[in-house]
C-alpha cells in the first residue's frame, strides 16, 4: 500500500476554514525520460486526486506528468460537520490509494 | 582540413572548389570569388544548423502555440482577464524537479460567486498541462498549493474560472537551473 501522509486538524469550530495537506509516495514517472538502457521509461503517474467530506466531494485535481514526484497537495475546506475526510488517488498501472482522517467540528 | 590547405593556396579557387574543399566556412585568405562562396556557404551552414536547433526542441517541448491551444480548450471563447489570481512561485529555482507553487484567487467563495476551477499551464515542458483543480464553496478559500516539475526556464500560467463564467489569469516567469522531466536517469 502506498505511503500516505495527511495533515488536517483533528478539531475545528463550525464554519472555520481549515487547511488540509496530503502527500503520497509515488514516482510520477513522466514518460519522457530515457532510462539507463536508453529506452524511454513508460509513463506512471497519479492522474486523479479527490477529497470527500462525509461522502461529499470537496476537492478534485487532475494531475499531469508535470507534478513533482511524491505529489503534495494543499487545499482548504470549511468545517461543516463532524465526520470523515477521505482521500483517494488513482493513476496509471491500476494505481489506487485511499486514506481517511476523522475531524470533530464543534 | 589543415592537410588540404597547401593545395588550395596560390591558385584562386573557384566557387565550386571552395564548396567541395572546405565544407566548414574556411577562414584562410582567398580570392574575392572564394570569399563570396565562403560567405554563401557560411550562411547555408548557419541556416542548416539554426533550423536543426529550432526544430529539435519542438519535438520534446510544448510550444507557445500548444500553450495557447491548451488555454483555449479551457476558456473557449470567453475573454481572459488579468488579475484576481496570485501565483506564488519562486522566480529562480535550482532544481526543476520540485518547484513549490501556490495559487490563490480573490473570491468570496459563496454559492453565488465562487471559483469553480483553477488551471495551471506551462510553456516549455513536454506537455502544456500542469494540473486542473475543481473547487466549490465548501473550500472557503480558493487556495491550492502543490509541487511541480519545470523542464526549462519558462512562463507558468494560472487561470481561474469563476461560477459567473469569468476567466482570470496571471503568469509568472521562472528561471530553472536544473531541468526536470526529460533528463535521463543517471
Sequence-ordered list of residues with C-beta below 8 angstroms from that of B50, at least 6 positions apart, any chain: none
Domain-embedded: residue B70: yes
- CA nearest to B159, candidates B62, B66, B96, B79: B79
Does the residue B27 lie in any domain? yes
What value does the mean pLDDT take over residues A27-51?
91
Instruction: Output the domain CATH number for residue B139.
Output: 2.60.40.2470
Residue B117 lies in a domain: yes
Residues B50 and B121 in one domain: no
Closest-CA residue of chain B to A32: B182
Same domain, B35 and B89: no
CB spacing of B140 vs A60 below 8 angstroms: no
| Ordered domains of chain A (ranges, CATH) | 4-31+40-105 (2.60.40.10)
Of B60, B79, B100, the position where a domain reaches its end is: B60
Per the prediction, chain B carries an average pLDDT of 77
Q: Once rounded to an integer, what is the mean pLDDT over residues B160-184? A: 86
User: Are the beta carbons of B147 and A67 separated by less than 8 Å?
Assistant: yes
- The answer to whether residue B183 is domain-embedded is no
For A66, the enclosing helix (H) or strand (E) is none
**Domain assignment present for B184:** no
Tell me: do B83 and B149 sit in the same domain.
Answer: yes
Within-domain flag for B72? yes
CB B30, CB B38: distance < 8 Å: yes
pLDDT band at B63 (very low <50, low <70, confident <90, very high): confident
> Mean of the pLDDT values across residues A85-101?
95
What mean pLDDT comes out for the span A47-72? 95
For residue A28, the chain B residue with the least C-alpha distance is B181
- Report the C-alpha gap between A34 and A26 in whole angstroms: 19
Better-scored residue on pLDDT, B77 or B142: B142
pLDDT at residue B58, as a whole number = 40
Give the model's pLDDT for residue B47: 56
Tell me, yes or no, whether B26 lies in a domain.
Answer: yes
The average pLDDT across A63-90 equals 95
Query: How distant is the Cα of A26 from the closest Cα of chain B, in angstroms?
Result: 13
B52 and B93 in one domain? no
pLDDT at A38: 87
Whether residues B85 and B170 fall in one domain: yes
Q: Could you list the residue range(s) of the whole structural domain that residue B106 is in? A: 64-178
Q: Predicted ipTM?
A: 0.91
What pLDDT does B11 receive? Answer: 47
Q: How does pLDDT run across B1-44, given as a tens digit for each residue?
A: 444 444 444 444 444 444 444 444 444 444 444 445 555 555 66
Amino acid at each position: 500500500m502506498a505511503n500516505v501522509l495527511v495533515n488536517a486538524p483533528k478539531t475545528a469550530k463550525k464554519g472555520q476554514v481549515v487547511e488540509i495537506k496530503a502527500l503520497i509516495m509515488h514516482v510520477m514517472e513522466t514518460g519522457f525520460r530515457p532510462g539507463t538502457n536508453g529506452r524511454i521509461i513508460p509513463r506512471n503517474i497519479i492522474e486523479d486526486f479527490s477529497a470527500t467530506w462525509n461522502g461529499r466531494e470537496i476537492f478534485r485535481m487532475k494531475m499531469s506528468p508535470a507534478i513533482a514526484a511524491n505529489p503534495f497537495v494543499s487545499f482548504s475546506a470549511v468545517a461543516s460537520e463532524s465526520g470523515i475526510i477521505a482521500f483517494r488517488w488513482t493513476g496509471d498501472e491500476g494505481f489506487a490509494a485511499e486514506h481517511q482522517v476523522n475531524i470533530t467540528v464543534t | 582540413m589543415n592537410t588540404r590547405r597547401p593545395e588550395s593556396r596560390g591558385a584562386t579557387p573557384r566557387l565550386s572548389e571552395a564548396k567541395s574543399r572546405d565544407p566548414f566556412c574556411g577562414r584562410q585568405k582567398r580570392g574575392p570569388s572564394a570569399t563570396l562562396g565562403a560567405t554563401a556557404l557560411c550562411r547555408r551552414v548557419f541556416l542548416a544548423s539554426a533550423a536543426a536547433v529550432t526544430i529539435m526542441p519542438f519535438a520534446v517541448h510544448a510550444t507557445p502555440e500548444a500553450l495557447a491551444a491548451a488555454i483555449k480548450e479551457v476558456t473557449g471563447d470567453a475573454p481572459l482577464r488579468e488579475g484576481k489570481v496570485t501565483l506564488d512561485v519562486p522566480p529562480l529555482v535550482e532544481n526543476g524537479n520540485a518547484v513549490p507553487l501556490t495559487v490563490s484567487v480573490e473570491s468570496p467563495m459563496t454559492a453565488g460567486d465562487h471559483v469553480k476551477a483553477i488551471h495551471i499551464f506551462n510553456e516549455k515542458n513536454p506537455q502544456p498541462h500542469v494540473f486542473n483543480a475543481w473547487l466549490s464553496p465548501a473550500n472557503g478559500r480558493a487556495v491550492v498549493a502543490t509541487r511541480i516539475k519545470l523542464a526549462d526556464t519558462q512562463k507558468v500560467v494560472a487561470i481561474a474560472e469563476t461560477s459567473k463564467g469569468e476567466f482570470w489569469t496571471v503568469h509568472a516567469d521562472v528561471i530553472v537551473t536544473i531541468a526536470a522531466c526529460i533528463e535521463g536517469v543517471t
